[in-house]
Amino acid sequence: MIFLFGLTFNSCFAHEVRPAYLQIDQISDSNEYSVLWKVPRTVDKVLNIQPKFENGFDLNETISPRILDAFVLYTYKLTGSKNLTNTLLTINNLNTTGIDVLVDVRLLNEVHHTFLLQPTKSSVIIPETPSKWTVAKVYIILGIEHIILGFDHLLFVLALLIITVGFKKLLKTITAFTIAHSITLSFSVLGIANLPGPPVEAVIALSIVFLAIEILKLQQGKSTFTSQKPWLVAFIFGLLHGFGFAGAIQDIGLPQNEIPLALATFNIGVELGQIIFVVIILIFIKFVKPQIPQQTWINKLVPYAIGSVSAFWLIERITGF
């Protein structure tokens, strides 16, 4: 466990980097397009990446760049001597970064394309016919990346794994967490229910603090509500975590004509990432933990590490209201 917590501490002070987002909307039959370009930023840095189109297309800024939360927004008008179909789109300098770019292309003939460009694949030829499989693949990847880079969600799952004894109970607990966050993620994206992001993020951090305290009580030989019914605790807090996932997917954006498919595959991606994490932890527990000296101070290091990281997040998020 010590190694994993080392990774957690190294990562806990960095916020998750969202994908960049490029939206291209055709506005006339004469090959004119409005372009929205959202680039992730940190406190003092904006990534130096730009969309590049084939020769014959001119990209001109129409609104001055503006800051919106963790992004810088650029607005352009794109004009071309031909249609975008079968032309090459490239994101310059993407191979020097560690982020993805979600591309959304909407044409007047109601054709809608969704692509995910990455540092290893920074260009795409815009096809004539959209593919549902392309949309599914994009949002599965985004779901996996979100959970793997969502250190607070992973820390919550890790705490549940420590508390829950027995494979059957563990399976029930993880299933309850999955069902819960899938419900609120769907409700939020579909506009059925919603909660403001900052308080949700703060309560997510508080939920991890709660589990850290529950682990300490369990180590002291005390029976806790979480150890008796971890599935119920996972379900209750999973509802809040779902609103957290919803904030991320709203930042990313959804293809308007494929919302059910994108939402379902994003959920699948989140679960695949979660399963990968759980399997890694279970392998660690089985093969590595027996080699670690089972001293009291070492055992207490785990919940104190979880509690310290999540308490820092809690304070940081409350002060950010």
Q: What is the DSSP track for 1-55?
A: -HHHHHHHHHHTTSPPPPPEEEEEEEEETTTEEEEEEEEEB-SS-B---EEEE-T
pLDDT at 231 over 70: yes
Is the same domain home to 168 and 295? yes
Q: How confident is the model at residue 294 (pLDDT cuts 50, 70, 90)?
A: low
pLDDT at 11 over 50: no
Is the same domain home to 286 and 171? yes
Is the same domain home to 26 and 61? yes
Distances in Å between the Cα of 213 and the Cα atoms of 42, 224, 309 are 33, 10, 13
Is the same domain home to 168 and 105? no
pLDDT at 304 over 50: yes
Quote the domain boundaries for residue 66.
Answer: 20-130
**229 against 256, higher pLDDT:** 229
pLDDT at 219 over 50: yes
Residue 100 lies in a domain: yes
pLDDT at 43 over 70: no
Is the same domain home to 232 and 110? no
Is the same domain home to 165 and 228? yes
Residue 144 lies in a domain: no
Q: What is the pLDDT of residue 195?
A: 86
Is the same domain home to 50 and 156? no
Q: How confident is the model at residue 258 (pLDDT cuts 50, 70, 90)?
A: confident
Q: What is the pLDDT of residue 16?
A: 53
Question: At a CB cut-off of 8 Å and minimum separation 6, what does 143 contact?
Answer: 265, 266, 267, 268, 269, 270, 271, 272, 273
Q: What is the pLDDT of residue 205?
A: 94
Last residue of one domain, picked from the residues 130, 160, 193:
130
Q: What is the pLDDT of residue 54?
A: 93
Is the same domain home to 6 and 24? no
**291 against 217, higher pLDDT:** 217
pLDDT at 63 over 90: yes
Kindly state the percentage of the chain with pLDDT values over 70: 92
> What predicted TM-score, i.e. pTM, was given to this entire model?
0.79
Residue 145 lies in a domain: no
Residue 140 lies in a domain: no
Which amino acid, 84?
Answer: L
Q: How many domains does the chain have?
A: 2
Q: What is the pLDDT of residue 295?
A: 62
Is the same domain home to 161 and 307? yes
Is the same domain home to 205 and 79? no
Is the same domain home to 184 and 221? yes
